[in-house]
Amino acid sequence: MSEVFTKTMARNIFYGGTTFFFLLLLALTFDTMSVLPERDHRENITDQVILGKKVWEDNNCIGCHTLLGEGAYFAPELGNVYTRFGNSTDAIKGFIMSRPKDGIPGRRSMPQFNLSDEELSAVAEFLKWTSEVNTANWPPNIQG
Amino acid sequence: MQYQSQSVAKLYFIAAIGLFLGQILFGTVIGAQYIWGDFLFPAIPFNVARMVHTNLLIVWLLFGFMGAAYYLIPEESETELFSPMLAILMFWIFLAAGAATILAYLLVPYATLAEITMNDLLPTMGREFLEQPTITKIGIVVVALSFLFNIGMTMLKGRKTVISMIMFLGLVGLAVFFLFSFVNPHNLIEDKFWWWWVVHLWVEGVWELIMGAMLAFVLIKTTGVDREIIEKWLYVIIAMSLITGLIGMGHHYYWIGTPEYWQWWGSIFSAMEPIPFFMMVLYTFNMVNQRRREHPNKVALLWAQGTAVMAFLGAGVWGFIHTLAPVNYYTHGTQVTAAHGHMAFYGAYVMIVLAMISYAMPLLRGRVANSNKAQVVEMWSFWLMTIAMVFITLFLTAAGVLQVWLQRYTDAPMGFMAVQDKLEIFYMMREIAGIIFLIGLGTYIYSFFVGGEEEATA
């Protein structure tokens, strides 16, 4: 780089640019936080949904599944599993309950987590709530 | 090595390499589970092995960054480290906490681990990459603060250079943004929003400052190019990294419940994220061409050039191919993401740490450079690992494209598991590439034990 462009100028671009764009990020963050309630329907976050998120976290579900496309890519997307399973929380509960303890020979299988009925209902309600978030029409189709 | 206290870096580098080996071993386990779904089930389920794979990566890179700082900061500051004792103490605490956490993942069901570490008091577990028990997270903060105090005090009493300032700024940012790992609202959408303040602002933000500082240091030492020139480049590169990368965060906010305007902000700014990586390639090769000395440590320079090229390909090009919102609509959360993740982490962060180790380790062991024989072995490991990673990325990309085609970009979408069966051939080839990577890593470790005539010339 030529002598016209000095190290001081480079430094000022770094500090100035970083400050400006960090402030822009903060502004966009504030705006996002103000419009999120209309998109995430937080009025529907019941105690059961809160418990469901805890069950989801305590069993590291994200270690195999994606949820709204984030997580591991080993097992199906669950952001829309409620609709994929015919808008049925019972179907979700039934699937989780029925996993064989020792897996399925030669195939991927979800572990048997031995969840209580309360926990099963909660995680199903959590996934139902998640499926109702406005995700800009993602995923592209029912298969996730 | 000019200052006695730089020797603490050696501990950190050895631990980093050891944990790197663990990371790759578990990588081959999960690669196998993609082919044989019941491999090691139910003893080591996929989620556990993956958590070990990703957490070991993060921990060993942190060891690498800290080791690099303990080597580089005293030398830049032209003074001994403020407290070598504190650095050694923190090393053992961090290693013990890290090892205990990894062992707990393997030995105890995750839900039990959450219970015995009293996660309910301050729930932070069960989120990707932030799976560590809350107590471990608190430990990381304590270690990070002591570390920043130690190198900060060292800088205060010595010479302040651009490299040490940028390194310090990057490490402070690393510690500050890690604090967002304690933010876990009941609302999943808010949880996801703040989760990226750790993950994105680390790997597409402040870590690039750390990488830039380490690369600049190695280049100054091995090429002998004037510091003024290198520092100017460093400023421009990291300026572009943050100018594009801060708002580039938008590319994570397309489909997780956040407003649609992020599709514009994210697409436009993250499309520019390759620019700093391209500049890094130009700069590295320019500096090497303008070199004023022939440093006997050839392999360190190979890693430095390698990290620039591979970071550009992995973070820059492979990031770009799926970053535009209309493309990402189909590729989000597929094997395309996995392909990008692998090459980006290897190119940008694994290779810069290995470049630093390659430069510093011979000096820490009392020689300017390793013997020619040892360097040749290390060069073999460079090519084995790098080419293996290129193929891992290509096979995962092929798997991802096919996955998108069958499951998403079609009028007759197939189910997830049915599609996975169709991808088996790519997973098979990826696993073979993974095993070659492991062989490359074995070669790398072996290179430390190759003797031969020392290179004495400086």
The arithmetic mean of pLDDT across residues B292-309, rounded, is 97
In the predicted structure, residue B455 carries a pLDDT above the cut 70: no
Nearest CA in chain A to B45: A111
| CATH number of the structural domain spanning residue A131 | 1.10.760.10
Q: Is residue B444 part of a domain?
A: yes
**How far, rounded to the nearest angstrom, does the alpha carbon of residue B388 sit from its chain's CA centroid?**
17
How many C-beta atoms lie closer than 10 Å to residue A23's C-beta?
Answer: 11
The answer, for B264 touching chain A at a CB cutoff of 8 Å, is: no
pLDDT digits (tens, 9 = 90+) for B403-415: 999 999 999 999 9
Nearest CA in chain B to A25: B247
* pLDDT at residue A36 in the model: 98
Which are the contacts of B198, defined by CB distance < 8 A and separation ≥ 6?
Answer: B129, B130, B177, B178, B180, B181
Closest CA to A138 of B38, B377, B327: B327
In the predicted structure, residue B288 carries a pLDDT above the cut 90: yes
**Do A52 and A1 share a domain, yes or no?**
no
The overall average pLDDT reported for chain B is 97
Cα–Cα dist A59/A120, whole Å: 12
Q: Is residue B126 part of a domain?
A: no
**Do A2 and A64 share a domain, yes or no?**
no
Chain A nearest C-alpha distance from B173 (Å): 12
Which chain B residues are closer than 8 Å to A108 by Cβ? Answer: 33, 37-38, 46, 417, 420
The answer, for B424 touching chain A at a CB cutoff of 8 Å, is: no
pLDDT digits (tens, 9 = 90+) for B50-92: 999 999 999 999 999 999 999 999 999 999 999 999 999 999 9
- Structural domain of A111: 41-144
In the predicted structure, residue A18 carries a pLDDT above the cut 50: yes
The arithmetic mean of pLDDT across residues B141-157, rounded, is 98
pLDDT digits (tens, 9 = 90+) for B129-140: 999 999 999 999
- Specify the higher pLDDT residue, A75 or B453: A75
Which chain A residues are closer than 8 Å to B232 by Cβ? Answer: 1, 5-7, 10
Q: How confident is the model at residue B336 (pLDDT cuts 50, 70, 90)?
A: very high
* pLDDT at residue B457 in the model: 47
**Do A18 and A80 share a domain, yes or no?**
no
| CATH number of the structural domain spanning residue B385 | 1.20.210.10
- Structural domain of B385: 240-458
Q: How confident is the model at residue B94 (pLDDT cuts 50, 70, 90)?
A: very high
Q: Alpha helices of B108-187 — where are they, by DSSP H?
A: 110-116, 134-156, 162-178
| Complex ipTM | 0.97
* pLDDT at residue B1 in the model: 80
**Do A100 and A121 share a domain, yes or no?**
yes
**Do A33 and A45 share a domain, yes or no?**
no
| C-beta atoms of B41 and A144 within 8 A | no
**Do A115 and A53 share a domain, yes or no?**
yes
Q: Is residue B348 part of a domain?
A: yes
Q: Residue B87, CB half-sphere, CA atoms under 13 Å: how many?
A: 28
Helices (H) then strands (E): counts for chain B:
19, 0
* pLDDT at residue B451 in the model: 82
The answer, for A47 touching chain B at a CB cutoff of 8 Å, is: no
The answer, for A4 touching chain B at a CB cutoff of 8 Å, is: no
**Do A69 and A105 share a domain, yes or no?**
yes
**Do A15 and A61 share a domain, yes or no?**
no
Which chain A residues are closer than 8 Å to B416 by Cβ? Answer: 75-77, 143-144
Q: How confident is the model at residue B237 (pLDDT cuts 50, 70, 90)?
A: very high
| C-beta atoms of A17 and B243 within 8 A | yes
| C-beta atoms of A5 and B228 within 8 A | no
* pLDDT at residue A2 in the model: 59
The answer, for B247 touching chain A at a CB cutoff of 8 Å, is: yes
Q: How confident is the model at residue A1 (pLDDT cuts 50, 70, 90)?
A: low
Q: Is residue B278 part of a domain?
A: yes
In the predicted structure, residue B249 carries a pLDDT above the cut 80: yes
Which chain B residues are closer than 8 Å to A35 by Cβ? Answer: 259
Q: Using CB atoms and an 8 Å cut-off, which of residues 324-363 of chain B contact chain A? A: 329-330, 332-335, 337-338
Count how many domains chain B has.
1
**Do A45 and A85 share a domain, yes or no?**
yes
**Do A3 and A45 share a domain, yes or no?**
no
**Do A78 and A127 share a domain, yes or no?**
yes
pLDDT digits (tens, 9 = 90+) for A117-136: 999 999 999 999 999 999 99
**Do A25 and A94 share a domain, yes or no?**
no
The arithmetic mean of pLDDT across residues B163-176, rounded, is 98
Which chain A residues are closer than 8 Å to B30 by Cβ? Answer: 74
Q: How confident is the model at residue B454 (pLDDT cuts 50, 70, 90)?
A: low
Closest CA to B338 of B278, B401, B257, B407: B401
Which chain B residues are closer than 8 Å to A68 by Cβ? Answer: 192, 255-257, 333
The overall average pLDDT reported for chain A is 97
Which chain B residues are closer than 8 Å to A142 by Cβ? Answer: 413
Count how many domains chain A has.
2
Q: At what angle do helices B84-107 and B8-35 cross, to 10 degrees?
A: 20
